[in-house]
Amino acid sequence: MTSISVLKQRERQIYQKGNQPFEIECETKSLAGAVSQRACVFCGSRVVLYPIADALHLIHGPIGCASYTWDIRGAQSSGPELHRMSFSTDLSETDIIYGGEKKLKKALLELIDKYSPKAAFIYCTCIVGIIGDDVDAICRQVEEETNIPVIAVHSEGFKGTKKDGYKAACDALFSLIERNNAPRVTIPDSINILGEFNIGGETWIIKKYYEAMGVKVVSVITGDGRVDEVMQAGNAALNVVQCSGSVTHLAKQMEEAYGIPFIRVSYFGIEDTSDALYQVAVFFNKNPEIIKKTQDLIKEEVQAIIPRLETMKKDLEGKKAAIYVGGAFKAFSLIKALKTLGMEVILAGSQTGTQEDYEVLRQMCNEGTVILDDSNPLELAKYSVEKDADLFIGGVKERPIAYKMGIGFCDHNHERKIPLVGFEGMVNFAKEVHGTVTSPVWDLVPRRQKAAGKEGAI
Amino acid sequence: MTLRKYKDTPSYTATQNACKTCTPLGATLVFQGIEGCVPLLHGSQGCSTYMRRYLISHFKEPVDIASSNFTEETAVFGGGANLKLAIENVASQYAPDMIGIATTCLSETIGDDVPLILNSMDNTIKGTALVHVSTPSYTGTHVDGFHGAVAAVVDRFNPVDKRIVYRPKKKKKINLFPGMLSNEDLRHLKDIFEDFHTPVTILPDYSERLEGPSWQEYQAIQKGGTPISAIEKMHVAVNSIEFGAVLALAAENGQKTAGDILNKRFGVPCTRLPIPIGVKATDRFLDILSQISGRPVPERYRKEKWRLVDAYVDGNKYVSKKRALIYGEEDFVVSIAGFLAEVGIIPVLCASGGKSKTFKKALEQTLPETLIDQVVIQNDMDFTCMEETAAGMPEDLRPEIIIGNSKGYAMARRLKIPMVRVGFPIHDRVGGPRILHVGYKGAQQLFDNIVNTLLTASQTESRIGYAYM
């Protein structure tokens, strides 16, 4: 694979664990022309707010941004499904020349009348920032007229990276919470679940655990989300933050404004799920019942799944995995979960990791592991093949890279349909990994045929 | 009772579940169909990532699209420097034969003069051609971006001052501008030309590049696509064939198409045909091909045709007077409507998200007069309006089958109407790029699929579930 060369300006964002001192460049703008796997500010906002099922999500701009994000996440709702609709002001040339404010207002009033949402989020796309529509003013007017929260999300695509989009979404969420004028009453032994999006019904699995522990869930932000529920978030005693990249900003805002402390957790894999639940139990240690129930729950759940994992582990022992995810936090959990299955990680990267994240990654990984920040198809292909991966874990854009080279694939992005969190999620994950890694089709693909010295490989 | 009374469609300011996507997407697809070409979007990073995702979900293949990656400063001071840097990086990373540069709403609105920037680079970098197409997302749809890119590529490689050195008399070469068709369609068209012993240049041709084998070594740019050397010779062809009934009307109204450019500059005659779906449209295409090439229609197509007609006969009572809702790109809808009409299915609602002014006219030219009264034709339509229109029809006039791309699935599910997936995109099934629509063979597959979908529906609904048709 010497044919693929790495761009000079990208070299500092690639690190191979070995003798050289650890140094990696990150948290920078993507290099023009590098074919980054990242999306934009709008995407960051859209994915965080997306699961709020009884809100209207109106995208202000030309049609593309709405088309590409229509029903894009596997975020489930137990009730209304307004979030699965794609609404756009579909700006045309005349709107660009004369401004889109009138159209926006008219569209909003019509949609609110038609769908009776509990709140409306208006996403500003690139062009809105350029033509100078006063979206905040329109939102204020419509909020007054309709009596529901109408919130502008300042997510113009070019104004930073996906992370800035997360921040804009957090600002919108905080602004929603702030609209609750009722006095704050802290509910004992209660939490908000933050950064959990109910992909494949994951929120329901986590909620079930907390219920069994005797911990009340005030709101989930934003999995199976409801506007009224989000607005109650100020009454929780603790914020439990998953997917820290996207919602830590909100947790910090709530800590500052309401004094609600937060902890960071992950519900992926046996180790991290147990750790998450214990952390919450320990926080509420004034209630000894909770600790007891948590211990029982974890013991029971772990015992139930271990035999099934052990069976699959036999086939997976020693297999090599590459991981490329949005936030680095997810990579930590994946590495641990893969270790549970006897697998080794040979490539780990993320779109938006920080210096500290990559330091943690480095410590977790074996010698020779390649660590990548804001990578692209060519680099991902180059290193997966060089390191001879048997499995690639990523999203839609990484899938064909793996498949072309005859590497198994597991979708860990927001489009998947299968819950991967918690104990039962670990079994699903193992089944996914086991299914693809042990598939007989790899025996037929050219790269494997060549490696086996078979004739007729193209 | 005719449908006329029910032609009222709901009207909203916002677009709800669009039946279209934005202009640059079509351009990037064209660039994927040119050998050694890497598409580059001049705009935000998100545009290229979203379009990659959209295309990958259909083709299940790597689709690399570079971005000039706008920042706030770029938006204020102009994107020239970013564009140049992007071009340099794409050139050194991919070593392409061509970089296809499409603009976005952002770069168009801030007024970046891309032609000027590229001129300052002599429109090349290290021997790589730089080709620009203007695709502001706020005008038209992905189809306009598609046709725009085809025209831009032909324009670039067949400049006005190009001298016709030699127009081969014996080996009559034909240009084919097929429009947005599936990989299988493109492959079938190539077979047809081969069977006519007539060389053809198809632009674009992504059929190999976006559906190739697995690899031994990673390919920065997949193999396949129309070679630039072939595009450069398009001006010496004996004829250009351009598919699309709506495109033909647009060309009459002055839209500059690829066929038009070659005609005006080099006198290459341009024959405009609807996409050849169904017996009648395929007859027309093969007859024209026979005329231009001076060769008879090969025997195997005669056989295919009569087999198809025989199948129409066998299935006639399962489809006759059935009502269909069809949607998608305007040209595609027109041709599917023509096919449905010839088997006796009434396309009661023909919808598109496109905004051309000639959609209705093209359908009126395609459908028999006796049918047109029963058809609601609506462009600039989204899936929500489509669904409300269909649901609002009286039961005895309501569609019984939905035919279109996978984006209509949610509508079909709510309306509880069986659905046949055709066209682009197919995001919820494998094999979307392998669906064949054109030629007798394509009509055969569509017909079988439609009949079987209707049979499945009645079998499922039946209280007893019968074992024979």
Asked if A63 lies within 8 A of B384 by C-beta distance, the reply is: no
Asked if A396 lies within 8 A of B216 by C-beta distance, the reply is: no
d(CA A225, CA A5): 45
- Please check the confidence at residue A19 and state whether its pLDDT lies above 80: no
Residue ranges matching CATH 3.40.50.1980 in chain B = 3-14+315-461, 23-157, 174-293
- How confident is the model over A177-199, as a mean pLDDT? 96
- How confident is the model over B83-87, as a mean pLDDT? 97
In percent, how much of chain B has pLDDT > 90? 91
Structure tokens at B390: 């269909």
d(CA B237, CA B332): 26
Domain B174-293 has CATH 3.40.50.1980: yes
Asked if A42 lies within 8 A of B137 by C-beta distance, the reply is: no
A 10 A CB-CB count for A165 gives 30
Structure tokens at A59: 């995208």
Coil/strand/helix, residue B420? strand
- Please check the confidence at residue B3 and state whether its pLDDT lies above 50: no
Asked if A34 lies within 8 A of B72 by C-beta distance, the reply is: no
pLDDT in tens, A32-65: 999 998 889 999 999 999 999 999 999 999 999 9
What residues in B contact A93, CB-CB < 8 Å? 136, 138-139
Chain B contact present for A41, CB below 8 A: yes
- How confident is the model over A121-135, as a mean pLDDT? 95
End-to-end CA distance of chain A: 16
Structure tokens at B120: 């300052």
Nearest to A372 by CA among A26, A40, A29, A32: A26
DSSP line for B155-214: HHHS-TT-------SSS--EEEE--S--HHHHHHHHHHHHHTT--EEESS--TTTTS---
Structure tokens at B465: 């579930």
- Please check the confidence at residue A456 and state whether its pLDDT lies above 60: no
Confidence of residue B297 (pLDDT cuts 50, 70, 90): very high
User: Of the given ranges (A358-367, B275-284, B402-411), which has the lowest mean pLDDT?
Assistant: A358-367
d(CA A87, CA A108): 10
Chain A residue with CA closest to B44: the answer is A158
d(CA A166, CA A212): 31
Residue with tokens 């029903």: A71
So what's the pLDDT on residue B93? 93
For domain B23-157, the CATH superfamily is Nitrogenase molybdenum iron protein domain (3.40.50.1980)
In percent, how much of chain B has pLDDT > 70? 97
Confidence of residue B6 (pLDDT cuts 50, 70, 90): low
User: Of the given ranges (A227-236, A418-427, B5-14, B180-189), which has the lowest mean pLDDT?
Assistant: B5-14
Give the domain B3-14+315-461 fold: Rossmann fold (3.40.50)
d(CA A127, CA A76): 31
- Please check the confidence at residue A2 and state whether its pLDDT lies above 70: no
Structure tokens at B50: 């979203």
- Ordered domains of chain A (ranges, CATH): 8-25+317-416 (3.40.50.1980), 41-178 (3.40.50.1980), 190-300 (3.40.50.1980)
Residue A417: alpha-carbon gap to chain centroid = 14
So what's the pLDDT on residue B9? 72
Q: Is the dihedral of CA A407, A413, A414, A420 positive or negative?
A: positive
Asked if A126 lies within 8 A of B43 by C-beta distance, the reply is: yes
In percent, how much of chain A has pLDDT > 90? 84
So what's the pLDDT on residue B466? 86
CB-CB: which of B47, B53, B69 is closest to A32? B69
Residue with tokens 């409306």: A120
Chain B residue with CA closest to A407: the answer is B214
- How confident is the model over A405-417, as a mean pLDDT? 91
d(CA A446, CA A439): 15
So what's the pLDDT on residue A312? 97
Chain B contact present for A61, CB below 8 A: yes
The more confidently predicted of residues A15 and A342 is A342
So what's the pLDDT on residue A3? 65
So what's the pLDDT on residue A452? 83
d(CA B34, CA B101): 13
So what's the pLDDT on residue B44? 94
Average model confidence (pLDDT) for chain B? 95
Average model confidence (pLDDT) for chain A? 94
- How confident is the model over A235-249, as a mean pLDDT? 92
- Please check the confidence at residue B257 and state whether its pLDDT lies above 50: yes
pLDDT in tens, B31-70: 999 999 999 999 999 999 999 999 999 999 999 999 999 9
Backbone angles phi, psi at B271, to 5 degrees: -105, 125
Coil/strand/helix, residue B408? helix
Asked if A34 lies within 8 A of B89 by C-beta distance, the reply is: yes
Confidence of residue B8 (pLDDT cuts 50, 70, 90): low
So what's the pLDDT on residue B165? 67
Asked if A378 lies within 8 A of B90 by C-beta distance, the reply is: no
Q: What are the contacts of B226-230 at 24+ separation with CB within 8 A?
A: B226/B33, B226/B34, B226/B35, B226/B201, B226/B202, B227/B35, B228/B34, B228/B35, B228/B36, B228/B97, B228/B98, B228/B129, B228/B157, B230/B201
A 10 A CB-CB count for B168 gives 12
- How confident is the model over A246-260, as a mean pLDDT? 96
- Please check the confidence at residue A453 and state whether its pLDDT lies above 90: no
| Half-sphere exposure (Cβ direction) of A276: Cα atoms closer than 13 Å | 26
CB-CB: which of B49, B65, B110 is closest to A130? B110
Structure tokens at A284: 């509420």
- How confident is the model over A406-416, as a mean pLDDT? 91
SS3 annotation, A17-73: CCCCCCCCCCCCCCCCCCCCCCCCHHHHHHHHHCCECCEEEEEECCCHHHHHCCCCC
Element (H, E) at A248: helix A244-258
- Please check the confidence at residue A83 and state whether its pLDDT lies above 90: yes
CB-CB: which of A36, A37, A67 is closest to B18? A67
- How confident is the model over B381-408, as a mean pLDDT? 96
Element (H, E) at B423: none
- Please check the confidence at residue A129 and state whether its pLDDT lies above 90: no
pLDDT in tens, A130-142: 999 999 999 999 9
Residue with tokens 């004829």: B239
Closest approach of B366 to chain A, Cα-based (Å): 30
- How confident is the model over A109-136, as a mean pLDDT? 96
| Sheet arrangement for strand B37-42 | B66-67, B37-42, B98-103, B128-133, B124-125
Closest approach of B156 to chain A, Cα-based (Å): 22
Coil/strand/helix, residue A420? coil
A 10 A CB-CB count for A217 gives 18
So what's the pLDDT on residue B7? 58
Distances from the Cα of A38 to the Cα of A127, A145, B53, angstroms: 20, 38, 11
Query: Is residue B106 within 8 Å of residue B43, measured between CB atoms?
Result: yes
d(CA B356, CA B260): 18
Spell out the residues 6+ positions from residue B468 whose beta carbon is closer than 8 angstroms to its own. Answer: none
Distances from the Cα of A112 to the Cα of A109, A263, B14, B352, angstroms: 5, 37, 11, 25
pLDDT in tens, B98-153: 999 999 999 999 999 999 999 999 999 999 999 999 999 999 999 999 999 999 99
Q: Give the bridge partners for B236, in sequence order.
A: none
Coil/strand/helix, residue A4? coil
Q: Give the bridge partners for B42, in sequence order.
A: B103
Whole-angstrom Cα Rg for chain A: 23
User: Of the given ranges (A23-32, A99-108, B177-186, B248-257), which has the lowest mean pLDDT?
Assistant: A23-32
Chain B contact present for A39, CB below 8 A: yes
Confidence of residue A290 (pLDDT cuts 50, 70, 90): very high
So what's the pLDDT on residue A6? 87
Residue with tokens 């010839």: B342
d(CA B26, CA B21): 9
B106: left (phi over 0), alpha (psi -120 to 50) or beta: alpha
Alpha helix (H) residue ranges in A84-201: 93-98, 101-115, 126-131, 135-146, 162-178
Query: Is residue B349 within 8 Å of residue B389, measured between CB atoms?
Result: yes
Query: Is residue B350 within 8 Å of residue B376, measured between CB atoms?
Result: yes
Residue A449: alpha-carbon gap to chain centroid = 36
